[in-house]
């Protein structure tokens, strides 16, 4: 009896395999006929169409989730003696830009259609002021932080010492006169609006050609923030 049941089961399994084989054979024949009727180019174009549709869908998804690019803050100067400044820069049009000073948010603004933004009347603290910005939209979130810029607020005028001449007025009998002095490191020196070379230690020496009679000279030491120290000297040259 058991052998009879196994025989029936084997016949049933064989019948199922035979049906599947016939079905696959018919399907292969149908596909072959379709290729003959419509040609391979049509099938290839159809495959490309499906691929492009998928790529477009992925592109749309990516555009929706891509955050805006990091804004760029323009650096107009590195130091100033003004208590308030303007901060301007560029970002993607119509996004919101939030400005940070020393890692603390101090305000936000919307970028114009031209891609520029402006923060007016930004108060500075004494010394270093580090600024950065982040762009954002409601749909795509925040951008990366912008490059950090530092603006130094400095109201202290640089030092200026003249060792030659040491007095404010004098008379000489030589046409050439060496003006020698010292200022703060990093400051520039001008004599009657002529730029004078200053070394890394702040020392300077300029040979000045005098004219007969009185020569009025103004020596100016100026730092990066625009602070100035002036000294006036009068040299009388006579033969």
- Is the distance from CB of 125 to CB of 103 less than 8 angstroms? no
Confidence label for 3 from pLDDT (cuts 50, 70 and 90): very low
Residues 6+ apart with CB under 8 A from 93: 111, 112, 113, 114, 115
| Architecture of the CATH domain 160-237 | Sandwich (2.60)
Residue 89 has pLDDT above 50, yes or no: yes
pTM of the model: 0.67
Where do the structural domains in the chain lie, given as residue ranges? Answer: 2-65, 72-153, 160-237
- Is the distance from CB of 181 to CB of 197 less than 8 angstroms? no
Q: Report the 10 Å Cβ neighbour count for 176.
A: 10
Residue 239 has pLDDT above 70, yes or no: yes
- Is the distance from CB of 149 to CB of 166 less than 8 angstroms? no
Topology at the third CATH level for domain 72-153: Immunoglobulin-like (2.60.40)
160-237 has the same fold as 72-153? yes
Residue 237 has pLDDT above 60, yes or no: yes
Mean pLDDT (the chain, rounded): 86
**Cα–Cα dist 156/229, whole Å:** 10
Q: Residue 123's closest CA among 90, 155, 82, 154? A: 82
Q: Residue 64's closest CA among 116, 114, 115, 138? A: 138
Mean pLDDT is lowest, of 25-29, 136-140, 215-219, for: 25-29
pLDDT: which is higher, 2 or 55: 55
**Cα–Cα dist 130/164, whole Å:** 41
Q: Averaged over 127-142, what is the pLDDT?
A: 95
CA dihedral 203, 207, 210, 215 (to 10 degrees): -10
């Amino acid at each position: 009896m058991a052998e009879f049941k196994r025989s029936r089961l084997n016949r049933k399994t064989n019948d199922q395999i035979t049906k599947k084989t016939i079905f696959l054979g018919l399907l292969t024949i149908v596909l072959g006929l379709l290729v003959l009727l419509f040609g391979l180019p049509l099938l290839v174009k159809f495959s490309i169409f499906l691929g492009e549709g998928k790529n477009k869908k992925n592109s749309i998804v990516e555009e929706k989730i891509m955050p805006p690019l990091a804004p760029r803050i323009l650096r107009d100067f590195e130091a100033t003696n003004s208590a308030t400044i303007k901060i301007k820069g560029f970002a993607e049009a119509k996004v919101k830009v939030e400005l940070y000073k020393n890692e603390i948010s101090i305000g936000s603004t919307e970028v114009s259609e031209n891609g520029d933004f402006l923060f007016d009347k930004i108060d500075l603290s004494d010394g270093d002021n580090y600024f950065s910005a982040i762009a954002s939209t409601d749909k795509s979130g925040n951008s990366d932080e912008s490059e950090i810029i530092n603006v130094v607020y400095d109201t202290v005028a640089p030092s200026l010492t003249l060792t030659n001449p040491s007095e404010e007025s004098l008379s000489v009998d030589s046409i050439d006169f060496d003006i020698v002095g010292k200022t703060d490191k990093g400051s520039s020196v001008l004599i009657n609006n002529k730029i004078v070379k200053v070394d890394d230690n702040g020392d300077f020496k300029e040979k000045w050609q005098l004219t007969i009679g009185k020569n009025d000279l103004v020596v100016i030491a100026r730092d990066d923030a625009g602070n100035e120290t002036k000294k006036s000297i009068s040299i009388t040259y006579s033969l």
